[in-house]
Chain A
């Protein structure tokens, strides 16, 4: 059984209400908090529509079928200790793809520009 509106729709409505009604009616720290919460609602709504990390590149890099949490922890450890510099260099693409996906959820359009 599923109730309506669904969670994503509700989060978007909460964000709109905060932005359009609450933010203009308060000031100072409360206004800032309301803006932050509205932004968080939109981030959570986008997270609900996300398919999750594509870990195929990471699995290929690691040569491992370990569960996701173990895989990421092992990847982190390998980056700290690996003596295979070529492999470490190749990890950059895997990391960039993951960071770009998460940055776009946090702030749509963020990867349109670089930091330089």
Chain B
């Protein structure tokens, strides 16, 4: 997908917000979405905000849904940026977009990990992540959009078996993972709101957890899925000895989760760690397929195909050894 023209995007954002908008920089231009720093000229001093504009050539949830989830999370005491506007079709960009308040802090994972050497308390951060997860999982069902996807363990296996069949090449390691998930299914647990992408890279960190970002993968699911995902090795960025995002221990995450009312089930956590490794392996393989099929010319998506073996190795090791915590 071609990048939208910045001036047309600024005009579209201005139309959405009812005030002149200036794009002051790009926080990130990723495969899935562009995150732009903007200033809204709505008073004597401009308001600093962030515009998230979808680039996705792969399925994405409606942005209005993500906005309503952010509002529900804010009401539940989860640190999130306030939503200023959202639209499924931003004029000038022809893409879904959401504008949120700008919260200062670090978002780039390696900067967060470097801050550990400058006084950032990784254990406190992991504890705060646990607390935030528990608050997300306690959001009442009537505050969650009715159309939000449900993905319990059985639905996960069924859906991802179908997705595996769609890949152009056989993937025996992922097949093995799905078979293990089928054979070791954990008891059903009431589904809750699950963030789905709560990890290092989707949080803002100042002296602690300032905000949880990127809510487009929200679903109703087993709450252990969120704890499993933040412990996925990919999101440790080389700090493999600290399972929670490369900055904290599992004990700290667990303590925060339980302090805010959550209940940790280790068997389900193990199951979902394998499940999310399967999910991410299929996701990376699909990003490569988007390139090989001509859907995108992104070299970043093409390169994802060479990351699949890491996830295959991790999921097989998780099956062979189990998590240590």
Contacts and interface: CB of A to CB of B under 8 A. Distances in A.
Given A36-B300, A92-B320, A110 B176 contact: no
B175 A80 contact: yes
A39 B299 CA distance: 11
Interface string B285-325: 00000000000000110110011011011111111111111
Given A79-B172, A113-B240, A116-B322, A103 B26 contact: no
Given A96-B316, A116-B317, A91 B176 contact: yes
A40 B170 contact: no
A115 B232 contact: yes
Interface of A: 28-29, 32-33, 36-37, 39-40, 43, 72-73, 75-77, 79-80, 88, 91-92, 95-96, 98-100, 102-103, 105-107, 110-111, 113-116
Interface residues of B, number: 38
Interface SS, A side: helix
Interface of B: 26, 29, 170-173, 175-176, 179, 232-233, 240-241, 243, 273, 277, 299-300, 302-303, 306-307, 309-310, 312-325
Most A-side CB within 10 Å, residue of B241, B316, B319, B324? B316
B306 A92 contact: no
Given A73-B170, A96-B320, A102 B309 contact: yes
B321 A116 contact: yes
A99 B173 contact: yes
A102 B241 CA distance: 22
Interface SS, B side: helix
A96 B317 contact: yes
Nearest to B173: A95
B170 A28 contact: no
A105 B308 CA distance: 12
Contact of A72 (B170, B179, B241, B318): B170
Contact of B172 (A75, A102, A110, A113): A75
B312 A103 contact: yes
Contacts of A99: 173, 309, 312-313, 316
